[in-house]
Structure 1
Amino acid sequence: MTASEAVPFAKTGGLADVATALSRALAKDGHEIVLVLPHYPQMLPQGARHRLQIETVEESFAVPVGTRKSYGSFLKAKLPDSNIDVILVDQPDYFDRPSPYVYENIPYEDNCERFVFFSRAVIEALKKFGPFDVLHANDWQTGLVPALIDIETRKQNPEFKDLGTVFTIHNLAFQGRFWHWDMVLTGLDWKYFNWKQMEFFGDLNLLKTGIVFADMVTTVSPTYAREIQTPELGWGLDPALSGRGSNLVGILNGVDTSVWHPETDRFIKVNYNVDSVGVNKPICKADLQEAVGLPVKPDVPIVAMISRISEQKGFDLLEQADSRLLENDAQFVFLGTGDRQYERFVKELGKRYPDRVASLIRFDEELAHKIEAGSDIFLMPSAFEPCGLNQMYSMLYGTIPLVHSVGGLADSVVPVNRETMHEKTATGFSFDRYHVNDLLACFNEALAMYRNRSDWKQLQQTCMAQDLSWNNSARNYLKVYERAIAKHC
């Protein structure tokens, strides 16, 4: 398993959660997993090196990056509470930085060079720590790896001739697109720089590279797998994706219930389950209100968002709604960072309505858990959403999601209506058209049901009874791995 981030070594988004949780689920099922990541020393919490058992592996390595060689070394660590080996690629010039991809919202100029180096380091790790049956790469930062295996590694190293490759797209909007001369950095022949393989409107595209060269391609929900094969949501890559046919599979992410579960969560005021939610969740609610500086009002619903603050996540709709969101008696909690335009909007809401809105422009893992446990409604009006995790976290905590019905949100949330309430299958509220009026109508529907305590309790119980663990997802990935291996047998 290789990715550019994984909890607890580095995290900017859901990829980090998935890389760790899927590895754990596969290991729990008896498979041997090695996780390969860049080493970002500045992102490790104090004392983490000892806690994560990070040790130096003596041998260094050199790989070609363009016309010169770049040198690095491997560190070895353990994924906490597991037997999973983690190989950290150590190269301070490339990775000893305050964040993985950007500084002050501006991408590093050498991002292509950095992740070409990392991709070639992954090949070195394959040789040193193998043999392996499958290489599973994730997102554009590792998109070059399947190409290197297909073009070079299988031919040059007979022991890898049966190696299967799987490439997962976590968000098609992030493509690793660079000017065409960066093709030189990859070390691959220019013949691969064509519209069917690595070229994309005159540029090098590393996400497209992974899509084209991997044996199997997956994305993080069945609906998103269908959506990205259309011109509307394909971000220009729909021909490459639809060209993969049955080799493109959508698998809904799961939840790492060792981290996210109200019965065991170490960050929340009191633990609870489906039987005690009515008694203990209000205690968590009061604790959240105190933590974020809102008046402690048990009967006022708390509406929360933990999110990258961006247009993709629906903040343009919230900006259009503005004060209309505050027409009802509700409190809002926003946690996250992102685009400055929408950060300003969220901050301004907090200033205008200090007793109604808490705006927290930061990353805060402990507070995120308190928000999931203490809120009543979780808002995810995303314009598009490959999978989403917070709507599933929310369900486990008896916090009812309100979502735009796209991607993984459509796959995981059963919308409230007369039939689903009667059958006790409803798990949230959703709207189909991406428009501010539809969002507000859905929001008002949720607030109306909140006041009907018996229906609300039923919703909570249905949500908390869902099996959202990684067990089913891991089994589906194993089927994909078997298909990838079978292509070379």
Structure 2
Amino acid sequence: MKNVLFVASECVPFIKTGGLADVVGSLPKCFNKDEFDVRVIIPKYMCMKEEYKNQLEYITHFYMDLSWRSQYVGVLHMMYEGIHYYFIDNEYYLAGPRPYGNIYEDIEKFAFFSKAALSALPLIGFKPDIVHCHDWQTGLIPVFLKDKFHEGEFFCNMKSIMTIHNLKFQGVWDMKTVKDITGLPSCYFTPDKLEAYGDANYLKGGLVYADAITTVSRTYAEEIKTPFYGEHLDGLLNARAHDLRGIVNGIDYDEYNPETDRYIVKNYNAKNFRKEKVKNKRALQEELGLEKDDKKFMIGIVSRLTDQKGFDLIAYMMDEMCQQDVQFVILGTGEEKYENMFRHFAWKYQGKVSANIFYSEAMSHKIYASCDAFLMPSLFEPCGLSQLMSLRYGTLPIVRETGGLKDTVIPYNEYEGTGTGFSFANYNAHEMFNTLKYAQYIYYEKKREWNKMVDRAMAADFSWASSAKQYEEMYNWMLGC
């Protein structure tokens, strides 16, 4: 049996702010249980849902040195859907209404969590062969494994993996403070280790010391080796290129299933979507006060409203897009300028644009099930999950060819009769607009071709099972199996 420990700052269903939580919550369930024992360790935040906090069982507690301070570490446990979850408890660090707060507090919080997670392992009786670390919050773990922990027999052969979910976030703070917090010797704070541009960088430490590095799509793994996407770490990622691989994320095919989805008005599948899917569109038009028309080309957007997601392109072309024979349904929150932009267009084009400036799980499912197309013109997108959900529901994505979007959406080719969506290459508002118009033309003028594309989209497999197989191969390769 090979033992693997996932260490992360969030995990569904316990605590979630983004896609990282989906990966950490969904992936461990999909490994071959006869070969791999995969467990998860996360912080026990005070803001976790009460229903889960009440089910945790106390295992042990101890006091740990964090540099010159002695800190309490509680360890709790819960079995959930066949997986062991461990929780690190310390109310000084993990109180507050949100998992993340000010970066200077988070820097100390996740230094504590990283050291506590490793220190707890001998006491919980689980000795991982591989510690799989996720994002900057766990970047110190590969460093600690090569430092103090390396001396003990328990830890000496332990391997580590660093997975980058979004390279933009790196855990950067001033060197003096980080030295003081971590207690690491000065020799670790050099340009070939944790130091970057005068500061200390947690993620960089993880990338330097991990035995292997992954990210969440093949294309993103290539992109981050370039200055544009590399966030000042492209040199390091090129140096470690032979240890870097991209494995695309999946989605939970039970949760996102048009055949059983409890949030949608009419369930449907790949066989009957031609008749049944439109009933969801009707219901959504009614609910949101849009013009009722089964044949109207309806475009969905479910997103954080930020520059990264391409909303500057949408802002530039929104008036012209609204002149087309289309409807827009937007769901999400984010930068005020984009929230207000969509409110303005919903007012200006009543019956044509619906701006829902909040987040609702139920509404997101309704949009995936009701719309004909899904717009996602991101500037960069490590993996992206929304396009995978829209494919699952037979709602064809219109995306920019970057990161995971390029890896998961096959552009329509009318000559070969292939494709599962539409894409454009350059980060350009007119190119996006022309791609949208082309999709609209196929929808109205070549409906049979459109429906065949929906067939192919719904047949694509982006379940976690296929991702898990690739991780299993990597673990075996690392362990020389």
Relative to the length of structure 1, the TM-score reads 0.93
2:374 pairs, out of 369, 373, 378, with 378
Distance in structure 2 (CA, Å) of the matches to 1:295 and 1:56 = 56
Structure 1 match to 2:3 = none
The residue aligned with 1:75 is 76
Corresponding residue number in structure 1 for 2:221: 225
Q: Who is 1:97 aligned against?
A: 96
| Alignment partner of 1:463 is 2:450 | no
| 1:292-371 equivalence runs, <5 A | 292-371=288-367
User: Does 1:16 pair with 2:16?
Assistant: no
CA distance, structure 2, for counterparts of residue 351 and residue 307 of structure 1:
20
* Conserved 8 A contact 1:112-1:182: no
Equivalent pair of 2:217/2:407 in contact (CA under 8 Å): yes
Map of 1:93-242 to 2, 5 A cutoff? 93-102=92-101, 107-129=102-124, 130-155=126-151, 157-183=152-178, 184-242=180-238
Q: Is the 8 A contact 1:27 1:84 kept in 2?
A: no
Q: Note closer, same or farther for the CA distance 1:261–1:187 as it changes in structure 2 (3 Å cut).
A: same
Cα distance between partner residues in 2 of 1:460 and 1:227: 29
Matched residue type, 1:211 = L
CA distance in 1, matches of 2:448, 2:470: 37
Give the CA deviation at 1:286: 2.1
Once residues 92 and 366 of structure 1 are traced to their aligned partners in structure 2, the CA distance between those partners, rounded to angstroms, is: 33
Q: Give the letter aligned to residue 155 of structure 2.
A: F
Change (3 A) 1:292 1:64: farther
Deviation track 1:362-395 (CA, whole Å, cap 9, x = no partner) reads 2211221111111111111000111111111111
Task: Evaluate the alpha carbon distance shift between residue 436 and residue 201 of structure 1 in structure 2; reply closer, same or farther with a 3 A threshold.
Answer: same
- Shift of the 460–132 alpha-carbon distance from structure 1 to 2, 3 Å rule, reads same
Question: Retained in 2: the 8 A contact 1:163–1:485?
Answer: no
Query: Which letter maps to 1:426?
Result: G
Q: How does 1:32-111 map to 2 (within 5 A)?
A: 32-44=37-49, 47-50=51-54, 53-57=55-59, 59-79=60-80, 82-102=81-101, 107-111=102-106
Query: What residue in structure 1 maps to residue 473 of structure 2?
Result: 479
Instruction: State the Cα distance separating 1:440 from its structure 2 match.
Output: 0.4
**Residue type at the aligned position of 1:334:** I
**Does the CA contact (< 8 Å) of 1:9 and 1:40 recur in 2?**
no
- For 1:39 and 1:295, how far apart are their aligned partners in 2? 47
User: Could you say what secondary structure the match of 1:32 adopts?
Assistant: strand
Q: How far apart in 1 are the matches of 2:346 and 2:75?
A: 46
SS at match of 2:37: coil
- CA distance in structure 2 between the partners assigned to 1:89 and 1:349 by the alignment: 46
Deviation at 1:119, TM superposition (A): 0.7
Q: Unpaired segments of 5 or more residues in structure 1? A: none
Check conservation: 2:251, 2:389, Cα contact below 8 A. yes
How far residue 108 of structure 1 moved from its aligned partner, in angstroms, is: 4.6
Q: CA deviation at 1:208?
A: 0.8
Distance 1:301 1:90 in 2: 50
Displacement of 1:429 in angstroms is 0.4
CA contact (8 A) 2:122 2:154 kept: no
Structure 2 residue aligned with 1:438? 431
Using the alignment, how far apart are the partners of 1:164 and 1:6 within structure 2? Answer: 22
- Aligned-pair CA distance for 1:339: 2.0
Write the distance in 1 (CA, Å) between the matches of 2:118 and 2:204: 19
1:275, 1:115 → 2: CA distance? 48
The residue identity in structure 2 corresponding to 1:395 is L
Query: Aligned to 2:307, what secondary structure does the other structure show?
Result: coil
Mapped partners of 1:268, 1:131: distance in 2: 44
Q: What is the CA-CA distance between 1:48 and the residue it aligns to?
A: 4.1
Q: State the alpha-carbon separation in 1 of the partners of residues 435 and 79 from structure 2.
A: 45
With 92-101 and 467-476 compared, the bigger mean Cα shift is at 92-101
Q: In the comparison of the two structures, how many residue pairs are matched?
A: 473
Q: The residue matched to 1:299 in structure 2 has which SS? A: coil
Q: Give per-residue Cα distances to partners, 1:257-311, cap 9 Å, x unaligned.
A: 1211212222222221100111221122223333434333211122111111110
Between 359-368 and 130-139, the greater mean CA deviation after superposition: 359-368
Root-mean-square deviation (CA, aligned residues, Å) is 1.8
Tell me, in whole angstroms, the C-alpha distance in 2 between the residues paired with 1:237 and 1:453: 46
In 2, are the aligned partners of 1:165 and 1:484 still within 8 Å (CA)? no
User: In structure 2, how many angstroms separate the alpha carbons of the residues matched to 1:287 and 1:43?
Assistant: 34
Q: Give the Å deviation of 1:54.
A: 2.4
Listed one character per residue, the Cα deviations across residues 84-135 of structure 1 (whole Å, up to 9, x for unaligned) are 0111222223222222224xxxx35411011111111211232223111111
Unaligned runs of 5+ in 2: 1-5
Measure the CA separation in 2 of the matches of 1:286 and 1:55: 48
CA deviation profile, 1:209-256 (whole Å, cap 9, x unmatched): 111111000001111101101112111000111111211111111221
The 3 A distance-change label for structure 1 pair 138 and 127 is same
